[in-house]
C-alpha cells in the first residue's frame, strides 16, 4: 500500500513538472507574442504606413480641432409634450361616450430629443421649432453633463427656427459664418445628438445650395449635405472647416442615404434675432399672389428666359397696388437681386425690412419697368372670394377643349366642362374655373372668351388667366 501511495505521489510530481515546463516554454523568448504594439505607443512594431501625406494629416487635425472647439457649444434638448389621443374607429359610435370617459378627450405624454447650439454667454440657444413646438417642459443638457430647465423664448413655424433660454452665465458660444459664400464640394461637419447619442460628429461635403420646393417649410433655401444627419440632429449646427456655423440641421430624406438639409445661417440670423427681441417674427408683405413662369408662359409674354414670378392677383390697397404693379407683370428683380422663381421672391420679400422703399423690376408688354415699393407687415387681409357660378352647359368643346358659360356674377366665363385629352385639360384647367382674361384682355362673359379664342392666330399661344376659388392662375395654351 505504501508503494502504491509513493507511486501516485511520484506520478503527480512528474505531471506537474511537465506542465510547469510547458508553460515556461510558452513564455520563452523564442515564441511569437500574442499581439504587436506600435512604436507610436511605446511598442516595438512599425506602423503599417510610415509616411502619411501631410494634407491628410492636416485635414484630420482640422476635424479634431473643430470638434474640440465647437462641441462645448452644442446642447442636447429633451422635451415632454401633451398630445391628444384620437379614437378614429369608435368616436362616431353611440357607445363611444360609455367607454371613453363620457367623451372627454384623452391625452398622452410624448418625449422627444433634439439638438441646439448656444449663441450667447447668458444662455440663448437656437434650435428647430419642431423640436420644442407644443412642449410642456424643455430641458437642456450641456456638454459637461449639467442639465438646465429651459423656457421657449419664441418659435417661427414657417422657417422652423426657435430660441430657448436657460439661466446660466459664462457659457461657450458658437460663431456664425457666412452661408452665402458656401460652394458645392466644401467640407461640412455636423454635430448633434442623433438617437440621443450625445456629441456625435459626422463629416461630409456641401452637396447643393438653394434647395427649395421641398415641401418641408414655407420658406425654403436649404443647404444639402451628405454629412450624416439622423433623428435627434435637428437643431444642431452644420459647420465649415473653420468651426463657423453655416447652417441649422433640420431634415432628412428618410428613403435616401446621405441626403440631409440645413437652414442657412444667413437666413436664420434675422429670424432668431427677432425671436430674442420680441418673441415673434414680422415679415414684409407685398399683397400679391404669384406663380412660376413656365417655358410656354415665357414665350407668350415675350420673356427670353423662364425666370421670375408671375403676378396673377393683387389685393386692393396693398403695397403692390400702390406701387403700380399690375396683374400679368413678371417680377424679374427685387431689391437688387434677380428673382429666380416664386419661392425666391417670397424669401426676398420676407427678409426685407418693413417700411423701407425697395426697387422692383417688372416685365410688362415686352419691356422692363422699375417701380418703387414699400413693404408693410405680413398680417394679410383675407381675400374676397369670387363665386364661380354657371350651371351645366351642353355646348361643344372649343379648340382648347373647353365648354364655358357666363358667370352668375356677370364677370368672366365659367368652365362647365373640360374635354379629356384637350389642351386645357393637359394645362391643368378644371371645371368651375372662371376665365377672366385671354391674352391680358378682360373677359366679360362666354361670348368675349369665344371671340378671343376664334381670333387667335394659328399656332399662336393663348395666355389665359383663370380664377379658382381665392387663387388666380395663368395658363399658356396652344389651340388644336
Q: How many domains are contained in the chain?
A: 4
Confidence of residue 408 (pLDDT cuts 50, 70, 90): low
pLDDT digits (tens, 9 = 90+) for 185-219: 999 999 998 888 888 999 999 999 988 876 677 77
Selecting among 179, 234, 300, 437, the annotated active-site residue is: 234
Asked if residue 172 belongs to a domain, the reply is: no
55 catalytically annotated: no
Confidence of residue 33 (pLDDT cuts 50, 70, 90): confident
- Answer yes or no: do 362 and 318 share one domain: yes
CATH code at position 465: 2.30.42.10
Same domain, 290 and 274: no
Predicted pLDDT at 381: 43
Lowest mean pLDDT among 28-42, 65-79, 245-259, 309-323: 28-42
Q: Do 185 and 273 sit in the same domain of this protein? A: yes
372 within a domain of the structure (yes/no): yes
303 and 360 within one domain: yes
Catalytic residue, from 129, 130, 179, 228: name it: 130
Task: Indicate if 200 and 114 belong to the same structural domain.
Answer: no
Q: Please tell me which residue, 447 or 123, carries the higher pLDDT value.
A: 123
With respect to residue 12, please indicate whether it lies within any of the assigned structural domains. Answer: no
For residue 320, pLDDT beyond 70: yes
User: Is the pLDDT assigned to residue 371 strictly greater than 70?
Assistant: yes
Mind listing the pLDDT tens digit for each residue in 273-283? 999 999 988 88
Q: Give a yes or no: residue 68 inside a domain.
A: no
Q: Which of 129, 156, 159, 160 is catalytic?
A: 160
130 catalytic, yes or no? Answer: yes
Same domain, 184 and 156: no
**Same domain, yes or no: 269 and 292:** no
When the pLDDT of each residue in the chain is averaged and rounded to a whole number, the result is 82
Q: Are residues 110 and 162 in the same domain?
A: yes
What is the domain range of residue 418?
Answer: 402-477
344 as an active site residue: the answer is no
The average pLDDT across 265-293 equals 89
The pLDDT tens digits of the residues spanning 77-108 come to 999 876 655 554 444 455 445 545 555 556 66
The answer to whether the pTM exceeds 0.75 is no
* Percent of the chain's residues with pLDDT above 90: 36
Torsion 379-381-386-387 (CA) sign: positive
pLDDT, average across residues 1-24: 50
Amino acid at each position: 500500500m505504501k508503494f502504491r501511495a509513493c507511486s501516485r505521489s511520484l506520478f503527480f510530481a512528474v505531471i506537474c513538472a511537465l506542465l510547469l515546463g510547458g508553460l515556461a516554454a510558452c513564455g520563452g523568448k523564442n515564441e511569437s507574442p500574442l499581439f504587436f504594439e506600435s512604436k507610436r505607443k511605446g511598442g516595438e512594431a512599425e506602423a503599417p504606413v510610415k509616411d502619411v501625406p501631410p494634407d491628410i494629416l492636416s485635414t484630420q487635425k482640422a476635424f479634431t480641432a473643430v470638434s474640440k472647439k465647437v462641441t462645448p457649444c452644442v446642447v442636447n434638448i429633451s422635451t415632454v409634450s401633451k398630445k391628444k389621443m384620437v379614437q378614429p374607429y369608435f368616436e362616431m359610435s353611440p357607445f363611444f361616450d360609455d367607454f371613453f370617459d363620457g367623451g372627454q378627450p384623452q391625452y398622452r405624454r410624448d418625449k422627444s430629443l433634439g439638438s441646439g447650439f448656444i449663441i450667447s454667454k447668458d444662455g440663448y440657444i437656437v434650435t428647430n421649432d419642431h423640436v420644442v413646438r407644443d412642449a410642456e417642459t424643455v430641458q437642456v443638457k450641456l456638454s459637461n453633463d449639467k442639465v438646465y430647465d429651459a423656457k421657449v423664448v419664441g418659435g417661427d413655424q414657417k422657417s422652423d427656427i426657435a430660441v430657448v433660454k436657460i439661466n446660466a452665465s459664462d457659457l461657450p458660444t458658437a460663431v456664425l459664418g457666412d452661408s452665402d459664400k458656401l460652394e458645392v464640394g466644401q467640407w461640412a461637419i455636423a454635430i448633434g445628438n442623433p438617437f440621443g447619442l450625445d456629441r456625435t460628429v459626422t463629416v461630409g461635403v456641401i452637396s447643393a445650395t438653394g434647395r427649395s420646393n421641398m415641401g418641408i417649410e414655407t420658406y425654403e433655401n436649404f443647404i444639402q449635405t451628405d454629412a450624416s444627419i439622423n433623428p435627434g440632429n435637428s437643431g444642431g449646427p452644420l459647420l465649415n472647416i473653420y468651426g463657423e456655423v453655416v447652417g441649422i440641421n433640420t431634415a432628412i430624406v428618410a428613403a435616401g442615404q446621405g441626403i440631409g438639409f440645413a437652414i442657412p445661417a444667413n437666413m436664420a440670423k434675422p429670424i432668431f434675432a427677432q425671436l430674442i427681441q420680441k418673441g415673434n417674427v414680422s415679415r414684409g408683405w407685398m399683397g400679391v399672389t404669384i406663380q412660376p413662369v413656365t417655358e410656354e408662359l415665357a414665350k407668350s409674354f415675350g420673356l427670353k428666359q423662364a425666370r421670375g414670378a408671375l403676378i396673377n392677383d393683387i389685393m386692393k390697397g396693398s403695397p403692390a397696388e400702390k406701387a403700380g404693379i399690375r396683374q400679368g407683370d413678371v417680377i424679374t428683380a427685387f431689391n437688387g437681386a434677380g428673382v429666380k422663381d416664386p419661392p425666391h421672391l417670397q424669401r426676398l420679400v420676407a427678409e426685407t425690412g418693413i417700411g423701407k422703399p425697395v426697387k422692383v423690376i417688372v416685365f410688362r408688354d415686352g419691356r422692363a419697368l422699375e417701380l418703387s415699393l414699400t413693404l408693410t407687415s405680413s398680417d394679410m387681409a383675407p381675400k374676397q372670394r369670387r363665386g364661380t357660378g354657371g350651371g351645366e352647359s351642353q355646348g361643344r368643346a372649343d379648340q382648347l377643349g373647353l365648354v364655358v358659360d357666363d358667370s352668375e356674377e356677370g364677370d368672366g366665363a365659367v368652365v362647365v366642362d373640360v374635354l379629356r385629352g384637350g389642351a386645357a385639360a393637359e394645362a391643368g384647367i378644371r371645371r368651375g374655373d372662371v376665365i377672366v382674361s385671354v391674352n391680358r384682355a378682360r373677359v366679360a362673359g362666354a361670348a368675349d372668351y369665344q371671340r378671343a379664342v376664334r381670333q387667335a392666330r394659328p399656332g399662336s399661344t393663348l395666355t389665359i388667366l383663370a380664377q379658382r376659388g381665392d387663387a388666380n392662375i395663368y395658363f399658356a395654351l396652344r389651340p388644336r
